[in-house]
Amino acid sequence: MRLTTAGESHGPRMTAILENVPAGLPVDVLSAEELLRLRRGGEERSERQKTEKDEIRFTGGIRAGVTTGSPVCIEIENGDFRPAFAEGREERKITALRPGHADLPGMIKYGFSSAEDVAERASARSTVAVVAAGAVAREFLSRLGVVVGGYVDCLGSVRDGEARSFGEILKSKEKPLYMLADGGTDEIRKAKREGETLGGTVKIVVRGMKCGFGGYGSFGRRIDGKIAGALVGLPCVKGIEFGDGFSLCSRMGTETVDGIRYDAANGGYYRETNRAGGIEGGMTNGEDIVVRLAVKPVPTTARGVKTVDCVTKEETVSAKIRSDISAVPALLVVAECALSLLLTEEISLRLGGDTMAEIEERWKKLP
């Protein structure tokens, strides 16, 4: 599946067009709405929950709840639509450049006199289209028995040091801030009182992905590289690791590999550990795919930060506009959907097929 998105933060709607969707895939609008709700969620983390209603419409590629094989078009209405922005004449000016945002590089690149046109598209609001399209990808994966789950394992100074079962991970969205550890809500409230924002890490686990997706023939085919590109490109993501990741660097070689075992009665090859995070040599190896992302604090704070006005060139303080206390819980939902889209693309690349029935039959034949 190939995703194209359009729309601005305060425009009338965000639009997602998803190509190469096989025919015969049931799509549940309620599931898509639930994912969009989860993207807004996370107790007290954001003032935007009051304005982002995310009314979703499938306007192409689906009839009677089933895909037709044509591109799927999804529209998400913006509850905070500003008519002045649509007219393109009277929008507010952003001249106090915001460090950590796309303001200054975007203005220099495109020759704008205000950062407004940069901010409208660079805004994390665009990720709503990724989530809406990701709902379709998750339906696709579920038909093959592939399940994607994740949780927030660090928020500010609160860290979850427990080894979590996959069952626990799948229940994380029932918890405040999608954390299985306690203390996240207090951390959010403290940051809010201080006019600050919080970063953290999220962990995503994919179960059921079979062996051999990706490739080693060229660097561009390596699935870990593709996953990194898809996830590090999301707003606020500053780092990624697979499996035990960076901790492997301080161990001996024999302590970093996953020994191979074989049991014919229980499906053949298996591993007793998963330090590699389910990927070896640029390919999936049949174990769980395990990814952790580092998410920086939102750079827009209630306190503001020192900057320069792009008109006067004088020192000032960045605008104190509405923003999230933390983007970490929302980013988890977006990242799960972005990863789901990437995995569906890899499956389609290897298996082909114009209909869901064809893909399911070919999937069953894989070891």
Q: What is the pLDDT of residues 39-93, one digit of tens each?
A: 987 655 656 555 556 789 999 999 999 999 999 999 998 877 766 555 544 556 7
Residue 285 pLDDT: 96
Give the CA-trace dihedral at 182, 187, 188, 191, to 10 degrees.
Answer: 180
To 5 degrees, how large is the angle CA 342–CA 36–CA 323?
A: 105
The CATH architecture that domain 2-243+278-364 belongs to is 4-Layer Sandwich (3.60)
Note whether 317 and 342 are within 8 A (CB).
no
Tokens (6 digits) for 367: 């070891």
3-state secondary structure of 102: coil
Q: Residues for the chain: how many in total?
A: 367
Residue 89: predicted pLDDT: 47
Neighbouring residues of 185: CB distance < 8 A, sequence distance ≥ 6: 43, 44, 176, 177
Residues in the chain where the model's pLDDT stays below 70: 42-53, 82-92, 319-322
Tell me, what amino acid is at 273? T
SS3 82: coil
Query: According to DSSP H, which parts of the chain are helical?
Result: 29-40, 83-87, 103-110, 116-122, 127-143, 166-170, 184-193, 223-232, 328-351, 356-364
For residue 219, the model assigns a pLDDT of: 92
Chain mean pLDDT for the chain = 91
Q: Check residue 78 and report its DSSP letter.
A: -
| Cβ contact 137:248 at 8 Å | no
pTM: 0.93
The pLDDT of residue 251 is 93
- What pLDDT shows up at residue 320? 64
For residue 50, the model assigns a pLDDT of 55
